[in-house]
Amino acid sequence: MLDINKIRADFPILKQTVYNKPLIYLDNGATTQKPQVVIDKIIDCYTKINSNIHRGVHFLSEQATLEYENSRLLVKDFLNAASTAEIIFTRGTTEAINLVASSFSERYIKADDQIIVSAMEHHSNIVPWQIVCERKNAVLKVIPMNSSGELMTEKIAELINDKTKIIALTHISNALGTVNPIKNIIELAHAHNIPVLIDAAQSVQHLSIDVQDLDCDFLAFSGHKIYAETGIGILYGKEKWLNEMPPYQGGGDMIKTVSFEKSTWADLPLKFEAGTSNYIGAISLGEAIKYIKNVGINNIYEYEAELLSYATTLLQSIPELKIYGTAEHKASVISFNLKNIHQYDAGTLLDKLGIAVRTGTHCAEPVMQFFGITGTIRASLAFYNTKQEIDALYEGILRIKKKF
Amino acid sitting at position 22: P
98 binds ligand PMP (CB under 6 A): no
| Site for ligand PMP, residues 131 to 190, rule: CB under 6 A | 170, 174
222 binds ligand PMP (CB under 6 A): yes
202 binds ligand PMP (CB under 6 A): yes
Q: Which is nearer to ligand PMP, 54 or 378 (CB)?
A: 378
DSSP string, 91-142: SSHHHHHHHHHHHHHHHH--TT-EEEEETT--GGGTHHHHHHHHHHT-EEEE
* CA 91, 94, 100, 105 torsion-angle sign: negative
Helix or strand holding residue 236 (H, E)? strand 233-237
72 binds ligand PMP (CB under 6 A): no
Query: In angstroms, rounded to a whole number, what is the distance separating the alpha carbons of residues 225 and 249?
Result: 25
332 binds ligand PMP (CB under 6 A): no
Q: Which is nearer to ligand PMP, 52 or 208 (CB)?
A: 208
Among 10, 86, 199, 217, binds ligand PMP (CB under 6 A): 199
- Output the smallest distance, CB 111 to ligand PMP, in A: 28
- Output the smallest distance, CB 221 to ligand PMP, in A: 8
124 binds ligand PMP (CB under 6 A): yes
| Site for ligand PMP, residues 73 to 92, rule: CB under 6 A | 92
* CB within 8 Å of 94: residues ≥ 6 apart: 124, 128, 222, 233
Residue in 272, 265, 268 with CA at minimum distance from that of residue 233: 272
Q: Which is nearer to ligand PMP, 93 or 335 (CB)?
A: 93
The interface region with ligand PMP, picked from 122-130, 157-165, 268-276, 374-382 by CB under 6 A, is 122-130
- Output the smallest distance, CB 402 to ligand PMP, in A: 32
65 binds ligand PMP (CB under 6 A): no
229 binds ligand PMP (CB under 6 A): no
- Output the smallest distance, CB 228 to ligand PMP, in A: 11
Give the count of beta carbons closer than 10 Å to the beta carbon of residue 276: 13
Residue in 103, 79, 108 with CA at minimum distance from that of residue 236: 79
330 binds ligand PMP (CB under 6 A): no
Tell me, rounded to whole angstroms, the distance of Cα 234 from its chain centroid. 10
* Coil, strand or helix at 221: strand
Q: With beta carbons less than 8 A apart as the criterion, state whether 379 and 346 touch.
A: no
201 binds ligand PMP (CB under 6 A): yes
Q: Which is nearer to ligand PMP, 71 or 170 (CB)?
A: 170
* CB within 8 Å of 291: residues ≥ 6 apart: 10, 35, 37, 38, 227
The interface region with ligand PMP, picked from 11-19, 60-68, 137-145, 199-207 by CB under 6 A, is 199-207
| Alpha-carbon distances, residue 150 vs 154, 180, 324 (angstroms) | 11, 7, 11
118 binds ligand PMP (CB under 6 A): no
378 binds ligand PMP (CB under 6 A): no
Query: In angstroms, rounded to a whole number, what is the distance separating the alpha carbons of residues 260 and 278?
Result: 28
Size of the site for ligand PMP (CB under 6 A): 13
Residue in 318, 317, 382 with CA at minimum distance from that of residue 346: 318
Give the CA diameter of the chain.
73
Is 363 marked active-site? yes
- Output the smallest distance, CB 92 to ligand PMP, in A: 3
Among 34, 76, 122, 330, binds ligand PMP (CB under 6 A): 122
| Site for ligand PMP, residues 336 to 365, rule: CB under 6 A | 363
Task: Point out which residues bind ligand PMP (CB under 6 A).
Answer: 92-94, 122, 124-125, 170, 174, 199, 201-202, 222, 363
Q: Name the residues annotated as catalytic.
A: 363
